[in-house]
Amino acid sequence: MSGHNDHVEGDDRSTRLTVSREAVHQRRRRAAAVGVLGGAALLVWGIGSLFAGSDGGGGGHSGFAARLARAGGSGEGSLYLARTRVENDAVKRTIATSPYIVRGGGERKQVALTFDDGPSEFTPRVLAILEEKAAPATFFTVGGMYSTYGANASRVHSAGFPLANHSWSHPQMTALSTPEQGSELERTSGVIENLGVPAPNLFRPPYGAYNQASVAQSSKRGMLVVLWDVDTLDWERPGADAIVEAALSQARSGSIVLMHDGGGDRTETIAALPRVIDGLRAKGFQLVTVPRLLADDPPRPGETPPPVGQA
């Protein structure tokens, strides 16, 4: 899909500007925001520390979660199900207060690594590093890739990592009609469900470009729009050192880091990943999935910037 890749590389430039502008909005809003953490959030935090989706605390991580799930079963009352329920509830709560996010609350030293544009031939190598290092991550996948690489998506799920929705054909959503946007989301959620995986509850619009229709179509299907505040620019293939530097220099508490496991040759991303993981941990960050981040350290209400295209 070289055309797909070219498209990605051209358009993410404007996305970067958009996200930077959003980050400024967010900082301004943060200054005025009054953070209120309800009892539910504290309860979530307490329960969450017992389970995976994070790599710190009690040593829980997704590999551990997968083993736990196998050992304890995944039926009613299992730890695996309890963890999933806590995280899914956190996503629902977030959607209710802000249907799109760029980062977590920033109250805990947690960072969420995210991988876009898979599944691809490179996904298993990314996955092998994450599993080797017991580092959770979230995968925003393109539905059109499943016919070729669906098995690699299954492996992501089996490893305990969330499979999220990144549209069917990687279009600029803002160029599509509302029904077309709905179809992009619907088809991809469908192929994910066809793997026997619950319908995704996270959606990332390609290029970070979205409008009110995108948000509405996403919310309607129970999906939170997830952007990012740290772009490693790995799609530009700037060299592994530059990817590592971008991640480590920009990540702060609550950051959502954008990387890619598809959409082109991801050799540099794969070369950088072990150092990104080790470097973030050396700075004291705990790696978590996006749902875990929302459960442990939700964005504060009223803090999220207005959607692109709304103004």
- On whether the CB atoms of residues 48 and 296 are closer than 8 A, the answer is yes
- The 10 Å Cβ neighbour count of residue 38 is 10
Least gap, CB of 263 to Zn ion (angstroms): 6
CB of residue 141 vs Zn ion: minimum separation in angstroms? 10
Q: How far is the CB of 191 from Zn ion (least distance, A)?
A: 16
Nearest to 116 by CA among 221, 219, 246, 203: 203
The encoded tokens of residue 49 equal: 């520390």
Distances (CA, A) of 18 to 112, 210, 228, 289: 20, 11, 11, 24
Q: Are 117 and 166 in contact (CB under 8 A)?
A: yes
Determine, following the binding rule CB under 5 A, whether residue 136 of this chain makes contact with Zn ion: no
DSSP label of 209: -
60 in contact with Zn ion (CB under 5 A): no
Q: Does 184 bind Zn ion (CB under 5 A)?
A: no
Using the rule CB under 5 A, give the single segment among 44-52, 59-67, 171-179, 200-208 that binds Zn ion.
Answer: 200-208
Is 116 among the residues that bind Zn ion (CB under 5 A)?
yes
Query: Residue 203 in contact with residue 218, Cβ under 8 Å?
Result: yes
Residue 262 interacts with Zn ion (CB under 5 A)? Answer: no
* Shortest Cβ 238–Zn ion spacing (Å): 17
CA dist., res. 212 & res. 233, Å (int)? 26
Nearer to Zn ion by C-beta: 262 or 291? 262
Under rule CB under 5 A, which residues in 7-36 are in contact with Zn ion? Answer: none
Instruction: Please identify, among the stretches 52-60, 116-124, 127-135, 214-222, the one whose residues bind Zn ion according to the rule CB under 5 A.
Output: 116-124
> Which of the ranges 156-164, 171-179, 202-210, 242-250 carries the binding residues for Zn ion, by CB under 5 A?
202-210
Which residue is nearest to Zn ion, using beta carbons? 116
Report if residue 99 touches Zn ion, rule: CB under 5 A.
Answer: no
* Residue number, 41 or 101, with CB nearest to Zn ion: 101
* Calpha distance 22→264 (Å, rounded): 27
Alpha-carbon 193 to chain mean position: 18
Residue 255: name the closest of 206, 279, 288 by CA: 288
Tell me the catalytic residues. Answer: 116, 260
CA distance 303 to 5: 33
Q: How far is the CB of 88 from Zn ion (least distance, A)?
A: 24
* Contact region with Zn ion (CB under 5 A), list: 99-107, 109-117, 125-133, 210-218: 109-117
Helix, coil or strand: residue 230: strand
Could you say which residues in the range 205-224 bind Zn ion, by CB under 5 A? 206
Does residue 117 belong to the site contacting Zn ion (CB under 5 A)?
yes
Q: Which residues would be at the binding site for Zn ion (CB under 5 A)?
A: 116-117, 206
